[in-house]
Amino acid sequence: MADVQQIQELIESSVKALGYELWGVELVGQGRQQTLRIFIENPEGIGVDDCAAVSHQVSGILDVEDPIKSEYFLEVSSPGMDRPLFKLEHYQQFVGNGIRVKLRIPFDGRRKFSGQLVGVEGDDVVVRVDDEEYVLPVDSIEKANIVSKE
Domain ranges of the chain: 4-77, 88-147
The CATH code for residues 4-77 is 3.30.300.70
At residue 33, the pLDDT reads 84
pLDDT at 69: 86
Report the distance separating Cα 114 and Cα 117, nearest Å.
9
Asked if pLDDT for residue 1 goes beyond 70, the answer is no
pLDDT at 150: 57
Checking if the pLDDT of 120 tops 90, the result is yes
Q: What distance separates the 2 farthest-apart alpha carbons in the chain? A: 51
Q: Which residue has the higher pLDDT, 98 or 31?
A: 98
| Mean pLDDT along residues 68-95 | 94
Report helix, strand and coil shares of the chain as percent, to nearest 5.
30, 45, 30
Fold classified for 88-147: SH3 type barrels. (2.30.30)
pLDDT digits (tens, 9 = 90+) for 10-69: 999 999 999 999 999 999 988 778 999 999 999 999 999 999 999 999 999 999 998 988
What pLDDT, on a 0 to 100 scale, did the predictor assign at position 29? Answer: 87
